[in-house]
Structure 1
């Protein structure tokens, strides 16, 4: 997919995701911008597993660009060499003026306008190589540091200013061939005091009274180029890979965070060591952490681009940073076949975010699994989607499916095959698919080869079916066997069409818990479990290792249930004035869309409901509906948010603030606490938060 970049926007300690171009529609032909499988074989011609050298790429860009951040201007020249005979589509952002364009010495001719892009159809040609020359210039948009995380994530404009320049690939800031992977050489010129970086190897750089110059090489076929620049202080460190290859680590940091450089370089070294020992050799020659004046959290090959405030967050080095380093293997080292689903985000989440929790403690890992299942329970059926349709995160629902569900599929696969076989399959997948386009099917083959087992049923049901299984523990009966043994007859049910599931069952005795795994294949099945001592209780999936719909008592309400559900309605209790404005802004931020408003005088609707108001207004509304504020939250903080499940099973979320200022202070922080059942704020700071207690599916035995 053209212009991909991973995004690690923090969400109360959580990491995240990918940005991409939409399909281009040119003269009635859809030019889908994913990686054609035909390029996989070409990409596979890279030299050794120890380093990326020049790859025989079918397309190569030689780009020279001059950027003036104060004037917000860009001038560029590119020579594109294409060793392919097929028809090509040349694309550049419409905001840029093409000064010169030639294809094999002939004028490029008129372009077609396609949204924010202009495009040229280049007919097939037998004679190779083909040479396309383009000179262009244009004005960049002013840098806006007031944007929040989500606005920055969706930003597709090339922006520039004294404190930073960001040219996202999706803006079309340079001419490219749609749908084609390409290697590149890129030379940049910037004024004195500015430094710039793109993905790849820094081949040369110089600084003089005339300005800064640098040349970067990316020898493997890749999907796009993002350029970052700013008044950076650069710190460099060279480490050795497991195979002895030198890897150059750099920080490009603004002065405000330059003191963090050493800690970040230490952390990157640790992550490269971890994943080299787990997967295989780091595929590039360097890795850089680049600071941004806006709240970005992006990952590209060989670098990550993190906002100044993001870099200061204490948990970033222990979470999001490792996620983005790992993307150099999954996503930027092996490319997902987006037409068949993006597996890389789920695998990266499993081997980064979740793996760190496993290393922390069993309880921390269980808490993350519980969070994934609670998040899924927050979706409405209309938001379910199969993993084969996931390409990138566009909203909360897509992250819950493409990141969390996919990560739990890998967890279940590891539980099925064992850790040693699972890791061996991934190492083989890496060796065979490095710099290729790979699909879920390729992953399946790797796991089948390593395990010697057919896994088509496992992959088919988890990848192609939307939603999740519903498993109920409906009955458990204890009987005494011969020789002092004891048996428990356990009945499990699931609706049609049945999944084939490995269901963990815990049998509690006076001596502790025994975990048994049963194979559920039908809509109703009875299992006999033998224990050596009298069983006291049977519990379904106590460690939450099976991806499934939680029952109401297992999934206590959380704020995300009103944030991501498209059927949510909103009650704004302030009738007018600044308080009304603050409440409406907060509702919009929480739901990432204009709220569906209903009057506060209406009866309680049978759909998820968000209520926002000042303290006295909230108390009056609650009393009218015979509800109450939680006892342990009364009188605490300047603002509170909490959830409750109503008698008809729907979720109610209430936001209550002491005054207008306290309500307005929630606009930025509250959207990041979707996984909480309740949060207490003092100003913009969360001082108390948590989730309501849950009860597993369990049957006590007589």
Structure 2
């Protein structure tokens, strides 16, 4: 299978940078590079198992590409050479002998190359062809789902997965790459910019990536480039650049300032930045990609005010976790959860304890939105393919790191990560390698902790089964608290707050079985007991703790859809919206039937919605959305526990306007729109588990 270059997809529309790593297998490869990625490029290229030396000429207006690649292979293994089928091959030889015709495998041409004693082996390929037209009308999910090499005057994007250059399947490789473009265009690939020049005849740039990596993504456009040099903590120069379209050139200074701050933050937290540069590159499409040494974001995305304080730092951090230490995907991808914890969550902690608590609440509420059986063990997570995998691979994993830090203490936690970085830099590392680092730093056996959170699907359900105040003795008030959890039992540290008339005492109770009675002494008369008041424990929330959110209907594969418009363009628009919300063709049921017994999405005009709710004796539209905006969406928990999500629009145009924005508000219980703009949103109030004492 193709090893990819660490391309990551960001879901920036929610205000938080979530990323997707493509699935590939690394279990048979061992990397031994432990020095700085760009410290000694010629030596690294000479010793890498596979090395590419590529020159490409691209004409964005003609949408043409011509390339020549010399591949040096320092192994006698049998090899598989691959190239996208859309490209013609003018020349393909190995050690001077023609490779002959290629076989076909989907969109790829495939050559088998037998093993041999002679090393290094030299493979030379010349190829060329037509690129797809750049389509700037695509929305965000459509852009992220395309793997075609596309080009136009406004920009060029050649994703590694498109097979735009010949590569050896299943092998990490170093590379040098020359880009030739018409005058007025500039190009970039992950790696170090060695040289560039521009004249009336055109633009030329040369890049190198001397450490083994999975593949190459190429971007080009009519960029204005701003450069700033910063010094790392060790004094190494780091080149920071923005490759921006002219219409957003004024944003460059602020982005360069922010990148510098993030590099300094993570160098002080983890260790030296592993590369010699970092670039922010703009795209004419609503893109959100991350790669080693750069991030590629849509023009409109870069204009969003929250990007510099969320997604940008997330992408800078991925140059340590994911692009600096490679996850062992065969045993689970740890890098997404760790990056979410040290970026998105860390920024909330810096903002305030309340903001951090609210993010944890969001993680737990998202998990509560999954129906039983929708999640999977973290050890099987590789990449985000839909909402459920994001909830597990990002949110659950991030909260596991939060609980681990609570268990070990911040100083020990950070020391373990610094050791992990020093020992695993530019190597493939697994959850087991992380566990060993935390055990070495803490002196504790963490096998139970890691095993229960990585190998088991789901989460414990914990509740206060009973609490009683015992007659005080010697001035102390005694309290018994009975905790229960579902099978299989986890080993948990359960926070419990005891509220008195004067204060609140927080206790941590070790629950290792299905049921246990704890005895607590408190100074004043206890009035009530609260389970996990600050949401520090990953668990499945009870119904009152997790009021319904839109995501429950969006991610549940059993959910059905009721389309109230009966026919015509309005019916088609409602069906399109349902498909966007659920990322699949909706399962349609008739609006005249009885209310379904599974989570249900209802879409219609205002009068249709009100009539349907009344007919089925369901709660009318909430006061918070009544009469506001041009369209509203809200959730209802029916008396039988089934979640209902309702989308109501004033007129056909208002319904159509929801197609793009509404899917990005899954964490909300209600949203109000004026056209395509959300003017109000919120989540229904949560009710913690509280037992009042008499």
Task: Tell me, yes or no, whether TM beats 0.5.
Answer: yes
Distance in 2 of aligned mates of 1:380 and 1:86: 46
Q: CA deviation at 1:40?
A: 1.9
Partner of 1:12: 14
Distance in 1 of aligned mates of 2:689 and 2:611: 37
In the alignment, is the contact (CA less than 8 A) between 2:191 and 2:293 conserved in 1? yes
Match of 1:651 among 643, 657, 660: 643
Distance in 2 of aligned mates of 1:281 and 1:196: 27
In the alignment, is the contact (CA less than 8 A) between 2:565 and 2:574 conserved in 1? yes
In the alignment, is the contact (CA less than 8 A) between 2:550 and 2:634 conserved in 1? yes
Partner of 1:248: 239
Q: Residues 537-556 of structure 1: CA distance to partner in whole angstroms, max 9, x if unpaired? A: 11111111111100000000
Q: CA deviation at 1:356?
A: 0.3
In the alignment, is the contact (CA less than 8 A) between 2:27 and 2:330 conserved in 1? no
Q: CA deviation at 1:97?
A: 1.3
In the alignment, is the contact (CA less than 8 A) between 1:568 and 1:608 conserved in 2? yes
Q: CA deviation at 1:57?
A: 1.7
Partner of 1:669: 661
In the alignment, is the contact (CA less than 8 A) between 1:65 and 1:189 conserved in 2? yes
Q: Does 1:2 align with 2:4?
A: yes
In the alignment, is the contact (CA less than 8 A) between 1:39 and 1:181 conserved in 2? no
In the alignment, is the contact (CA less than 8 A) between 2:38 and 2:276 conserved in 1? no
Q: CA deviation at 1:3?
A: 4.1
Partner of 1:642: 634
Structure-to-structure mapping, 1:228-243, within 5 angstroms:
228-243=219-234
Distance in 1 of aligned mates of 2:335 and 2:170: 19
Q: Does 1:347 align with 2:349?
A: no
Distance in 2 of aligned mates of 1:700 and 1:578: 55
Match of 1:630 among 617, 622, 645: 622
Structure-to-structure mapping, 1:458-497, within 5 angstroms:
458-497=449-488
Local SS of the residue matching 1:8: strand
Distance in 1 of aligned mates of 2:268 and 2:160: 32
Partner of 1:308: 299
Local SS of the residue matching 2:228: strand
Distance 1:409 1:507, change over 3 A: same
Q: Residues 457-498 of structure 1: CA distance to partner in whole angstroms, max 9, x if unpaired? A: 111111111111111111111113432112211111112221
Q: Does 1:556 align with 2:558?
A: no
Distance in 1 of aligned mates of 2:67 and 2:455: 45
Distance in 2 of aligned mates of 1:267 and 1:632: 38
Distance in 2 of aligned mates of 1:9 and 1:293: 17
Partner of 1:179: 170
Match of 1:401 among 377, 392, 402: 392
Partner of 2:136: 145
Local SS of the residue matching 2:14: coil
Moved more, 78-87 or 598-607: 78-87
Q: CA deviation at 1:684?
A: 1.0
Q: Residues 495-553 of structure 1: CA distance to partner in whole angstroms, max 9, x if unpaired? A: 22211111111111122211111111101111112211111111111111111100000
Q: Does 1:683 align with 2:683?
A: no
Q: CA deviation at 1:51?
A: 8.5
Q: CA deviation at 1:2?
A: 2.4
Structure-to-structure mapping, 1:527-566, within 5 angstroms:
527-566=518-557
Moved more, 626-635 or 588-597: 626-635
In the alignment, is the contact (CA less than 8 A) between 2:4 and 2:216 conserved in 1? no
Distance 1:104 1:74, change over 3 A: same
Q: CA deviation at 1:632?
A: 2.7
Q: CA deviation at 1:132?
A: 1.0
Structure-to-structure mapping, 1:198-277, within 5 angstroms:
198-277=189-268
In the alignment, is the contact (CA less than 8 A) between 1:51 and 1:284 conserved in 2? no
In the alignment, is the contact (CA less than 8 A) between 2:629 and 2:674 conserved in 1? yes
Local SS of the residue matching 1:304: strand
Distance in 1 of aligned mates of 2:150 and 2:97: 33
Distance in 1 of aligned mates of 2:534 and 2:145: 37
Q: CA deviation at 1:48?
A: 8.7
Distance in 1 of aligned mates of 2:538 and 2:683: 20
Q: Residues 624-649 of structure 1: CA distance to partner in whole angstroms, max 9, x if unpaired? A: 01121112321111111100101111
Local SS of the residue matching 2:323: coil
Q: CA deviation at 1:35?
A: 2.4
In the alignment, is the contact (CA less than 8 A) between 1:50 and 1:282 conserved in 2? no
- Unaligned segments of structure 1, at least 5 residues: 22-32
Match of 2:283 among 280, 286, 292: 292
Distance in 2 of aligned mates of 1:476 and 1:461: 28
Structure-to-structure mapping, 1:30-69, within 5 angstroms:
33-41=24-32, 43-44=33-34, 46=35, 54-55=43-44, 56-69=47-60
Partner of 1:620: 611
- Unaligned segments of structure 2, at least 5 residues: none
In the alignment, is the contact (CA less than 8 A) between 2:38 and 2:211 conserved in 1? no
Q: CA deviation at 1:121?
A: 1.6
Distance in 2 of aligned mates of 1:575 and 1:604: 17
Q: CA deviation at 1:210?
A: 1.2
Distance in 2 of aligned mates of 1:699 and 1:296: 48
In the alignment, is the contact (CA less than 8 A) between 1:52 and 1:284 conserved in 2? no
In the alignment, is the contact (CA less than 8 A) between 1:557 and 1:692 conserved in 2? yes
Q: CA deviation at 1:109?
A: 2.3
Normalised TM-score (structure 1) = 0.96
Partner of 1:79: 70
In the alignment, is the contact (CA less than 8 A) between 1:50 and 1:243 conserved in 2? no
Q: Residues 340-391 of structure 1: CA distance to partner in whole angstroms, max 9, x if unpaired? A: 1111010000000000001001111111111111111111223211111111
In the alignment, is the contact (CA less than 8 A) between 1:37 and 1:437 conserved in 2? no
Distance in 1 of aligned mates of 2:366 and 2:312: 23
Local SS of the residue matching 1:251: strand
Distance in 1 of aligned mates of 2:475 and 2:59: 84
